[in-house]
Amino acid sequence: MPNEQNLIPAKKGEIRNPKGRGKGARNRKTIVREWLLVEQEFKNPITGTVETLSQADIMTLSLISKARKGDVAAFRELMDSGFGKNTEVQETTLSVTTPTIVFKDFGNDTNDDTDE
């Protein structure tokens, strides 16, 4: 059974969750994005030169390096990121034949033109 207090709307100025997330607290998504943009000196595994790259660039280069060595999961992830996930299309051909009903005359014709 639901808690009756939760069914009553909050009054103006009333705080229902006083120990909730504080003001200025950052969302996890924001924190992850900030860390992915942090740059550092890194040796590019493809060109072999030292470059200033973001964490996202370093991870992408790592995936490319793994895919080049034959890692199928890394290849699939790169293809999905770069070109979108593949939607599988299945073509089905259905051939339907309808039965044909043929009525035959078995000689029960009442209109005989023969002389007796």
Distances (CA, A) of 57 to 9, 42, 43, 46: 48, 10, 11, 12
Residue span of the structural domain in which 81 resides: 28-85
Any domain includes 37: yes
Residue 43, domain member (yes or no): yes
Residue 23 in domain: no
The predicted-structure confidence for 69-111, as pLDDT tens digits, reads as follows 999 999 999 999 888 887 777 788 888 888 788 877 776 656 5
Q: For residues 40 and 53, is the Cβ–Cβ distance under 8 A?
A: yes
Give domain status of residue 79, yes or no.
yes
Note the pLDDT of residue 71.
95
- Mean pLDDT over 34-50 rounds to 91
Does residue 96 form part of some domain? no
Cα separation, 8 vs 24, whole angstroms: 28
Q: Average pLDDT, stretch 1-23?
A: 77
Strands 39-43 and 50-54: antiparallel
Number of domains the chain is built from: 1
> pLDDT averaged over the chain?
83
Rounded to two decimals, what is the model's pTM? 0.53
In the prediction, which pLDDT does 84 show? 86
For the record, the structure tokens of 108 come out as: 């029960």
Instruction: Look at residue 98 and tell me if it is in a domain.
Output: no
| 93: its two tokens | 């051909």
Residue 55 lies in a domain: yes
Q: Is residue 33 part of a domain?
A: yes
Is pLDDT above 60 for 49?
A: yes
